[in-house]
Amino acid sequence: MRLTLRTLLAYLDDTLEPAQAAVIGQKVAESETAQKLIERIKAVLHDRQLTVPPATGPEAKIDANTVAEYLDNELPSDKLADVEEICLNSDVHLAEVAACHQILTLFLGEPIQVPPTAYERMSRLAPERRVRRRPRRKKPVVERGPDELHHDDEDETLRLGLPLFQLGGSGFRRWVPLLVVVVLVAALGVAIWQAFPDIEPVRVARQEGTSQATGPSGGEPSGPGARPPVAEPPAGPPAQPPVAEPPKPEPPPPSEPMPMPQPMPPKRPLDKVPTNEPNPQRRQLGQLAAGRGSALFRRGPEANSWERVAPDAEVASAEELISLPGFRSELRLDSGVRLVLWGNVDEFTSMQALREGRELPVRECALTLHAPGPGFDLDFTLHRGRVVLRNAKADGGAVIRLRFADEIWDVTLGDQRSEASAELAGLYLDDMPFHADGRGEGPAILCGLFALAGEVQLKVRYQTMALPPASLVTWNNIGAGMLGPYPMTKPPEWWLEPEQAEAPEAKRMRLAIGTLAKRLGQPVRPLLVGMLREPESAPRRLAVACLVALDDVLPVVDGLASPQADVRDSAVAGLRHWISRAPRLDVRLYRLLQEQRGFGRAQAEITLHLLHNFSRDDRAKPETYETLIAYLQHDRPAIRTLAHWHLVRLAPQGRTIAYDPTAPAAQLEKAVLAWKKLIPDGAVPPAPMPEAPP
């Protein structure tokens, strides 16, 4: 969840879910700007000198309808930034939006609950009576002086049209206030009596001789209702017979106990679009198409356990599926939609396409299928990687719900010729360093939706757009959100697949993928660990990528100290890819190094800092290069590998310096001297020359 003005207001008014409130609270604690904005919001809400925003004129920037749409999250995305900018620059508009949000929170979040018995008791307080109305007598006209008329006008204004009560009238009018007080006291007594129906009056038996006042033996009274002894009356004339008292009315039967108050309904967040949670039901949705290039796994019940999905086997909702890097796994769903989990490896990716943003650094494809709701042919959450969507229905369009990073996109494929693709990847940018306490910023999440062929339509919240063929829509969680659609001169290179123009490394990787596909009947983890010792480079690099995809990162950590340079480079790239998949995975790796591989706390922290990028300011400091050169002789081979990996990218001139992090100490010393000659203490390397286009 991003920290915006609307989420900040929801955080202050306590309308967020506990998990979301914790995230926003952490971001507020880390942002001095957010803290100052909170203080400003509190100040403008208590400033009685502020007026209402003007409705007309040049200062009328936003109206009441715009404020309502903003608070209901129905404002178009292109106007959100304008409204928040106006509020941040104007105390009047900020107070208006904050006060409206606060009032709606109280009104919608805390409805008044009136017990049903309250209505019944209120109705019993004043039973119906028939009042005989007397005919109204015409009031005689009395001549008054100017002073009396003036006094009457003032009374008329104060009493708001009610009949005038004069003190100097008849005697009845003088007693009206006292009668009103008596009636109110009586009504209050009746109300109190009605409120305690279970209290019964204490009945005392009238003494008639001694038979009712004494116990069985005629002595002291006994029993729970007995009275204390009463002295005998003196002798004299015979007492008159007691006058019979009228029977007392029976007390009303006790009323039913008051029902317990119902719990208050949960508050409805005002700044959040009503979420459409996925259906957790497990249901068979289709089957995996048979093919040599398929390597689909489902997550098992135990941690980091995976089960291979056999060709033609059924696939169900509510389970995570992964297609290994370089493999394509096609799901033929019963709804008529074809879903291809398109695995990728670095050898199949054009660096030029990465630099231009036409492709994302994707590898394995991981997703979770959901039971689709009414009106949808497919519902799934894309965790990472690339998918291809095809409409194979006999007639009509296919409606697909795509979920990722708390976003919901509805993609409609108009006919059987329609195809689209989605890519999702995480990436740590230069200004996102590692924090061992877990308070660091998570990776940037990047998503791209390609319209490949046919009729493709995209709906995001309340906005619907048609995507022409060879167009692209992008999204990220660090900028403006969704952008596009942008036209492309041609479809992506991976879609065209010019195999005849592939580099030799890509052809060798295809052979390694084919070999692994034939051996996937074996237990996958021992198979991949054994491939790290293959004589060829392509199988070793493929094994590292597959281990990372299956969350088995400890063998990859060991690969940082491998005698094979390609395994070390693949391990660096694989670990950087793994920690970028989700927030706090770098903290998890930091702990694994200490618990499973014996790293000290300082060593583990250095390792994770080197798995992140250096900021622009750090790259301009001589201390950065002095530290990296010193790390070339560190006790941990993993730290030596990572330091050299950064140096050859920050100073490409050093690629000619022979360096092996597993070599003896003498060779390490020789390489360090060469690096210090290239980058002396107190200096920075010259800027690298721009690469020539391919």
Which is more confident, 353 or 499?
A: 353
The angle subtended at Cα 472 by Cα 5 and Cα 542, nearest 5°, is 100
Cβ neighbours of residue 91 under 8 Å, at least 6 residues apart?
A: 40, 44, 47, 50
**Helices (H) and strands (E) in the chain — how many of each?**
22, 17
Residue 164 has pLDDT above 60, yes or no: no
Which is more confident, 250 or 550?
A: 550
Question: Given this model, what pLDDT does residue 246 score?
Answer: 53
Whether 366 and 492 share a structural domain: yes
CATH code: domain of residue 367 = 2.60.120.1440
On whether residue 585 sits in a domain, the answer given is no
Question: Given this model, what pLDDT does residue 221 score?
Answer: 45
Single out the residue in 466, 500, 534 at which a domain terminates. 500
Residue 232 has pLDDT above 70, yes or no: no
Average pLDDT over residues 84-89: 84
Whether 458 and 324 share a structural domain: yes
Contact 486, 471 (CB under 8 A): yes
Single out the residue in 500, 526, 559 at which a domain terminates. 500
Whether 428 and 290 share a structural domain: yes
In what helix (H) or strand (E) does residue 479 lie, and over which residues does it extend?
Answer: none
Question: Given this model, what pLDDT does residue 315 score?
Answer: 96
How would you classify residue 608: left for phi > 0, otherwise alpha for psi between -120 and 50, otherwise beta? Answer: alpha
Residue 193 has pLDDT above 90, yes or no: no
Average pLDDT over residues 30-45: 83
> How many Cβ atoms are within 10 Å of 25's Cβ, its own excluded?
12
Give the percent of the chain with pLDDT over 90: 46
Residue 434 has pLDDT above 80, yes or no: yes
On whether residue 412 sits in a domain, the answer given is yes
On whether residue 216 sits in a domain, the answer given is no
The pTM (predicted TM-score) of the whole model is: 0.62
> How many Cβ atoms are within 10 Å of 541's Cβ, its own excluded?
29
Cα distances (angstroms) measured from residue 9 to each of 97, 102, 404, 481: 9, 8, 25, 20
Average pLDDT over residues 473-498: 83
On whether residue 268 sits in a domain, the answer given is no
Whether 482 and 619 share a structural domain: no
Average pLDDT over residues 34-56: 81
Question: Given this model, what pLDDT does residue 132 score?
Answer: 47
Q: Please, which pLDDT band fits residue 158 given cuts at 50, 70 and 90?
A: very low
Whether 321 and 463 share a structural domain: yes
Single out the residue in 109, 127, 143 at which a domain terminates. 109
Q: Please, which pLDDT band fits residue 688 given cuts at 50, 70 and 90?
A: low
Residue 426 has pLDDT above 90, yes or no: yes
Ranking 118-127, 239-248, 272-281, 529-538 by mean pLDDT, the lowest is 239-248
Whether 625 and 491 share a structural domain: no
Instruction: Give 309-356 pLDDT, tens digit per residue.
Output: 999 999 999 999 999 999 999 999 999 999 999 999 988 887 666 666
The secondary structure of residue 664, as a DSSP letter, is -
Helix pair angle (5-12, 32-45), 10° resolution: 60
> How many Cβ atoms are within 10 Å of 5's Cβ, its own excluded?
22
Average pLDDT over residues 126-144: 48
On whether residue 587 sits in a domain, the answer given is no
Average pLDDT over residues 60-72: 81
d(CA 163, CA 158): 11
On whether residue 355 sits in a domain, the answer given is yes
d(CA 354, CA 684): 27
Question: What domain range is 105 assigned to?
Answer: 5-109
Average pLDDT over residues 188-197: 65
Average pLDDT over residues 122-129: 60
Which is more confident, 149 or 377?
A: 377
Question: Given this model, what pLDDT does residue 3 score?
Answer: 74
Question: Given this model, what pLDDT does residue 188 score?
Answer: 75
Average pLDDT over residues 278-295: 89
Q: Please, which pLDDT band fits residue 589 given cuts at 50, 70 and 90?
A: very high
Residue 43 has pLDDT above 60, yes or no: yes
Domain count, the chain: 3
Residue 144 has pLDDT above 80, yes or no: no
Average pLDDT over residues 484-488: 88
Instruction: Give 624-653 pLDDT, tens digit per residue.
Output: 999 999 999 999 999 999 999 999 999 999
Question: Given this model, what pLDDT does residue 115 score?
Answer: 65
Structure tokens at 454: 């046919």
Whether 496 and 633 share a structural domain: no
Average pLDDT over residues 504-531: 91
How confident is the prediction for the chain on average, in pLDDT? 80
Which is more confident, 27 or 207?
A: 27
Whether 493 and 620 share a structural domain: no
Which is more confident, 265 or 239?
A: 265
Q: Whose structure tokens read 């017979």?
A: 241
On whether residue 642 sits in a domain, the answer given is yes
On whether residue 77 sits in a domain, the answer given is yes
User: What is the b/e burial string over 447-480, where b = at least 16 CB atoms within 10 angstroms of the residue's CB?
Assistant: bbbbbbbbbbbbebeeeeeebebbbbbbbbbeee
Which is more confident, 282 or 190?
A: 282
Gyration radius (Cα) of the chain, Å: 41
d(CA 600, CA 635): 11
Q: Please, which pLDDT band fits residue 195 given cuts at 50, 70 and 90?
A: low
Question: Given this model, what pLDDT does residue 72 score?
Answer: 80
The angle subtended at Cα 249 by Cα 245 and Cα 254, nearest 5°, is 150
